[in-house]
Amino acid sequence: MEGNETVQLCDVCVKIGSGATPRGGKEAYKGGATSLIRSQNIYNEGFHRNGLVYIDDDQSAELRNVEVMPNDVLLNITGDSVARCCQVAPDVLPARVNQHVAIIRPEPNSLDARFLRYVLVSQEYQSRLLALASAGATRPALTKSMIEELDIPSPPLAEQKAIASILGALDDKIELNRRMNATLEAMARALFQSWFVDFDPVRAKLDGRKPEGMDKATAALFPDAFEESSLGIIPKGWEVSKLKDITSKIGSGATPRGGSDVYVDEGPALIRSQNVYDHEFHWTGLARLTDKSASELKNVEVIKNDVLLNITGDSILRTCVVDPAVLPARVNQHVIIIRAIDRIPPRYLHLYLVQDSMKSFLIGMSAGATRHAITKGHLESTDVLKPSALVLAAFEKLTSPLFEQIDANRTQSRTLANLRDTLLPKLLSGELSVANFLQ
């Protein structure tokens, strides 16, 4: 972005400042109409609702000086997520931010908010912000003065808006893919819930009714009675198996010798807990290894359809199926690989483990420990419902096209995101004419 006029953020913003946590800390979140936005909600690709908490009217009034307004740019200023940046999602308002998030509110006649967001998430500015945050501190942190004194490109306002519009069109398609995937995932989860939790087809046959939403051949795969098991009432003829008996691998990884100092820009991926979310693999913060480091971790290699589960820390028990596009990959010591045997669909196993009831059961196993942690032994001994092979095959046949489309949409979204990130410096430098995109 060399060669452009620049301006300090303090000269083109009406607010730059971080928030606070209500008195009493996280235990004081009382629920209510106001969102409290934290660093875990802020990602470069957009606002994430996972873990969004709410505060009541009294708490909201105490934090009224950190009220979030439409179009505000939010920037993480501490910890491992420092420098992550997005704009506020309109549907989370009214909202406040806590002390780990800064509000940046441009003066609208001088700086376009969406343009600013694209600048701050660009590779160049992410590198700048990370360098500032790590200078002289024991923990990465961006101060108010660092943000205020940050020089940013300052093309004419009309050009800012045009650049934001061009990049926004790509983001709109990415958002459309995200919404489509949410619908597809909801369909798969609903089928799992109906067949393997509520046992709707079995209950229908027991009542002399035709199971809804399935053909005669599929309905015939389900029994018409229940029986007792260690998991309670289950369809007759189905089994309860230990997780170790329906998997070919359960094992966590390791950090390569040298730790983060041996991470490189290109190479096999090292999957960490920050990449594993419920139902979705996140590429943000993905580490890369040299071929030598990867070979030293050969025994924790991830393969297609592996289920990944976080076993320590605040993200414990988040679980997803690995994104095939990230392979080849390894996992570190905070993530465990769960590999289903051939007769068990990996998506069935994942959807079973991601249930709230399973999470409650597993977290109970670590009760009494100073830090929540799930061991290989905990997982191996866990009881899992094992439906008949024919029912599992029918479930896989119905859901595989959904998950294949989800993977295709995610791949397209990453391609669009890379294109977006490539376009910004070219548009700012004049290498590509804004006018050509608007014709």
Domain membership flag for residue 210? yes
Domain membership flag for residue 234? no
Query: Is 259 found in the same domain as 214?
Result: no
Query: Is 415 found in the same domain as 402?
Result: yes
CATH classification of the domain holding 93: 3.90.220.20
Task: Taking each helix axis as running N to C, give the angle between helix 113-120 and helix 123-134, from 0 to 180 degrees, rounded to the nearest 10.
Answer: 70
Query: Is 22 found in the same domain as 116?
Result: yes
**Contact call for residues 211 and 195 (beta carbons, < 8 A):** no
Q: Which residues have a Cβ under 8 Å from the Cβ of 373 and sit 6 or more positions away?
A: 311, 312, 316, 366
**Contact call for residues 424 and 123 (beta carbons, < 8 A):** no
Last residue of a domain, one of 90, 122, 154: 154
Strand order in the sheet with 319-321: 247-252, 335-340, 307-310, 319-321
Domain membership flag for residue 419? yes
Last residue of a domain, one of 154, 173, 206: 154
pLDDT for the residue 12: 96
The gap from C-alpha 133 to its chain's centroid, in whole angstroms, comes to 23
Query: Is 319 found in the same domain as 301?
Result: yes
Q: Which domain holds residue 80?
A: 6-154
Last residue of a domain, one of 135, 154, 173: 154
Domain membership flag for residue 233? no
CA dist., res. 143 & res. 148, Å (int):
9
Query: Is 296 found in the same domain as 367?
Result: yes
Domain membership flag for residue 424? yes
Residue 341: burial class (beta carbons within 10 Å; 0-12, 13-18, 19+) = exposed
Query: Is 279 found in the same domain as 175?
Result: no
CA dist., res. 32 & res. 11, Å (int):
36
Query: Is 421 found in the same domain as 322?
Result: no
User: The tokens 């931010």 sit on which residue?
Assistant: 97
The gap from C-alpha 433 to its chain's centroid, in whole angstroms, comes to 35
DSSP one-letter code for 242: E
Query: Is 69 found in the same domain as 181?
Result: no
CA dist., res. 115 & res. 424, Å (int):
10
Query: Is 162 found in the same domain as 205?
Result: yes
Query: Is 398 found in the same domain as 355?
Result: no
CA dist., res. 287 & res. 268, Å (int):
9
Domain count, the chain: 3
Domain membership flag for residue 289? yes
- The β-bridge relationship of strands 34-37 and 95-97 is parallel
As given in the structure block, the two tokens for residue 311 are: 């076993």
Q: What are phi and psi of 200, to 5 degrees?
A: -55, -45
Residues in the chain: 439
Domain membership flag for residue 413? yes
Task: Taking each helix axis as running N to C, give the angle between helix 389-429 and helix 346-353, from 0 to 180 degrees, rounded to the nearest 10.
Answer: 80
Domain membership flag for residue 232? no
Q: What is the CA radius of gyration of the chain?
A: 25
Query: Is 438 found in the same domain as 345?
Result: no
pLDDT for the residue 365: 80
pLDDT for the residue 368: 54
User: CA angle at residue 395 from 226 to 411, to 5 degrees?
Assistant: 150
Could you tell me what percentage of the chain is helix, strand and coil, using 3-state DSSP and rounding each to the nearest 5?
45, 20, 35
**Contact call for residues 437 and 180 (beta carbons, < 8 A):** no
Segments of the chain scoring below 70 in pLDDT? 1-4, 24-28, 136-137, 366-371, 438-439
Query: Is 380 found in the same domain as 248?
Result: yes
